[in-house]
Structure 1
Amino acid sequence: MLFSGIDVAFALGYAKPRNAINVHCKGALKRGVLTPGGVQSMIFIPEGDVYRLITKSRLKSAQNFEKWVFDEVLPAIRKTGGYMETDLLERVKDNPELLLEFAERLLAENNRNKELQNRVNDMQPKADYFDHFMVEGECTNIRTTAKEIAFPERKFVKLLLKKGFLYRSPSGTLLPYADAKNNALFIVKDYFNNGHLGSQTLITPKGKEFFKDLCAEEI
């Protein structure tokens, strides 16, 4: 089961959720998610990382949760193989039918989780397409990249063409060569405009660092 990393970190009081995820989480991953505003790239974390964020949080409620998990839930699981709150145990003792009701709820929740997983599996090809072709938050177009590395845009384009990183398609679009040296430096974003499919070259964070050094040599 995966959780929205930003939402979890924000709820736990982290002022900089992305930093908290980078520092404390071991299984964070990005996936394309279909939202009312279109497909968005979101960070998801597994259950283990949720607990890691909880144990590092300074919120009182998170500290109480941590104490409950480590002092009560985990010891009970080690002893009995499961965990049930004391209040529920007392109620089951007085009314055994509650145990059947509890089991039915667990079964219903399990079936719901399976249904949700099937829906996720159905959407995965679209998410994979997004991850491969669509823009990631850290990637920027050529103009924005030139501004970020403080290098004139026209001069930047000429340099990329001259050094063999980019070429112009027949329609005039700047595209990266399918060359090993271009690996991880660019991504190509597909888009639709007035019924026509187009492409835009974006530069990755690794590409920005690389071209920043390259442009520094040209100054």
Structure 2
Amino acid sequence: MNQITKVFEGSELRLVEIEGSPWFVAKDVCSILGISNPSKATSSLESDEKTTITISYTGSMTTNLVVINEAGLYALIFRSRKPEAREFKRWITHEVIPSIRKHGAYMTPETLGRTIKDPDFLIGLLTNLKDEQQRRLEVEEQNKELKPKAEKYERFLDSDGLTTFTTIGKHFLDGISPQKVRLFLQEEGVIYKRKVDGVFPPTQDYTKYFRIIPYYYYDYYGNEIVTRTVKVTNEGIDFIIDLYQKANQAP
């Protein structure tokens, strides 16, 4: 298992590769974000957002570490109240992740050594790089197509490029309430009629139009409350508007 270490404003962030994806040591993330209880913080994450690994550090001695994937990382970032959290997120998304994906591998000394000794490994590495570059080109082309739409709705989107049922109903669906937006989508089979973990999630065919986002606030007694909310993607705005217009066309 490859391990690399990045440094954010003097604090170490350890990463490991699991099945080709980056996982972050939860303790390091919490330290950077000023979250005092990593165990409590990770306990609220989804089961597929965290796992425990065993690493060797001195001779035969080992230790267990809780690591989190990108989704778990962003969930903890949203929870942090430190001003640096925003800059940390930008560092992750603009430097750490791109530097890993640029090569399609973790270029640790172990990886570099293996490319020299094992020609087949090098061929596989270069193949992965080629595939990654092709995927990146495809994404860039998709972004070119989506850019006009993104600009059209830009003032209605939050910093994550998402919006709410309230905004969609008010500005695009004749001023209807968010409750009526939800009921309309439920009748059309787009979202479920029963709550799952406190929200009405999208049905399988429509997940690309929505995101389930953690929402944190403090109650009257100062206790941190974690809930979840469903938001709509940029592409989802067009989808909902089109669906609503078709449903309200005169026969």
| Common fold by TM > 0.5 | no
> Which structure is higher in helix share?
1
Normalised by the length of structure 2, the TM-score is 0.33
Higher relative contact order (CA 8 A, sep 6+): 1
